[in-house]
Amino acid sequence: MGEREGAAGRGAWAEIDVAAVRHNARVLAGVAAPARLCAVVKADGYGHGAPAVARAALDGGATWLAVALVEEGAALRAAGIDAPVLVLSEPPPEAMDELVAASLTPTLYSLEGVRALEDAARLAPAPVGVHVKVDTGMHRVGADVDDVLKVVSAVRDAPGLTFEALWTHLAVAESLEEADRAYTAEQLRRFAEVRDALAAAGIPAPMAHAANSAGAVAHPAARLDMVRCGIALYGEAPSPAVGEMLRAAGVGLRPVLAFKARVSFVRRLRAGESPSYGRRRPLPADATVATVPVGYADGVPRRWFDVGGTVLVGGRRCPLAGTVTMDQIVVDCGPDAPVAVGDEVVLIGRQGAESLAAGDWADALGTISYEVLCGIGPRVPRVVVDREADGDRAGGAGA
């Protein structure tokens, strides 16, 4: 494929299927409706490449985007994207000018933040819409429940600012355990109380949002006016429990990212030989051992070997033959596999009837798919593909 040319020198790349993003956005917009869908593309789109994901999500029905940092929002503007972009934390005072210049929507939760934005907004051609965040139990950032009225009043009174939304963030939405469900309900109850208090004070929030992917899927009461979906947009469930729920409901999300490489070297080794650092695993039988040019500097955790990690070669699951090194892995392709230099290796994705998901890595490594996806390093080129043709059989919605 011509589009892999750029990746050829490296021999490892990540394919980003924008048709899958569009599909997932359509599914999530459908689940959330009438609430709006905000596509969360922080951390370079969870490692997928933010501009491509943002465009596809907007095509699929998202109307908002969200990022963690002002510079991430500015990068979307530089890529020509003009949809509303919410910055999910209060920017430091020195970032407010850039925020205003890029027409981003800030989250605020301190009076210092309001003042800094007010100064920067003097340069703005139009009032800057502000989303005020309240901490209802996540305890990371956000105004205390008792301080919200002060912050919202300051926004209302500041020339050049308008109060556009009130929002909060759920701490355990991905868990369906009884106690965690109760905590989510309690967060939503506190949030409703704050909204009511603002309305009673004559400053009703024009818009309210609370749900991440798990909230949007598993807690209908959290959908409110907008849902902020990240992980589900990338085709991964926020947790195994929510994944189970999605399957039961027949909601099919498609993985967006495939992590692939090409075999760079092949040799035959005898049973008992132990490839790679530390000579950790004697080959159980004579084997073809393939070297693949991808390592822990690319996001293949060194622990992937310890937890019995496998990759797909020739449509079969093959175990790592030894320790993951910085730039390369070695794969035990078995006694009589016809493996050759240049053969495709799949680390995440599908090959023939087999597939490996970021969630499978996460389960084996004791982490979450978010960390696996964000961990794929900058040295791995992202190759955008559009698999609309086979992609939309399941969804039935054409391009």
Ligand X SMILES: *Cc1c(COP(=O)(O)O)cnc(C)c1O
Return the closest-CA partner of residue 391 out of 258, 217, 282.
Answer: 258
- Residue number with CB closer to ligand X (55 or 228): 228
What is the binding site for ligand X (CB under 6 A)? 40, 42, 88, 169, 212-214, 228-232, 238
Tell me how far, at minimum, the Cβ of 313 lies from ligand X, in Å. Answer: 31
Shortest distance, position 169 Cβ to ligand X, whole Å: 4
Catalytic residue among 109, 234, 277, 370: 277
Minimum CB distance to ligand X, residue 170 (Å): 8
Q: Is 277 a catalytic residue?
A: yes
| Amino acid making up residue 77 | R
Q: What secondary structure does DSSP assign to 29-42, as a single string?
A: HHHHTTSEEEEE-H
Nearer to ligand X by Cβ, of 234 and 305: the residue is 234
Nearer to ligand X, 52 or 321 (CB): 52
Nearest in space to 293 (alpha carbons), one of 314, 317, 311? 311
Residue with tokens 């939304």: 165
**How far from 161 is each of 96, 115, 116, 195, CA to CA, in Å?**
13, 10, 11, 19
Minimum CB separation of residue 111 from ligand X in Å reads 21
Give the nearest residue (CB) to ligand X: 230
β pairing state of 329-332 and 287-292: antiparallel
Torsion sign over Cα 301, 303, 307, 308? positive
Minimum distance from residue 333 beta carbon to ligand X (Å): 36
- Indicate the pairing of strand 316-319 with strand 310-313: antiparallel
User: Which of 102, 91, 106 has the alpha carbon at shortest distance from 124?
Assistant: 102
By beta-carbon proximity to ligand X, the closer residue of 86 and 158 is 86
Q: Which is nearer to ligand X, 116 or 218 (CB)?
A: 218
138, with CB counted inside 10 A (0-12, 13-18, 19+), is middle
CA gap 43, 22 in Å, rounded: 19
Q: Which residues are the active-site residues?
A: 42, 277
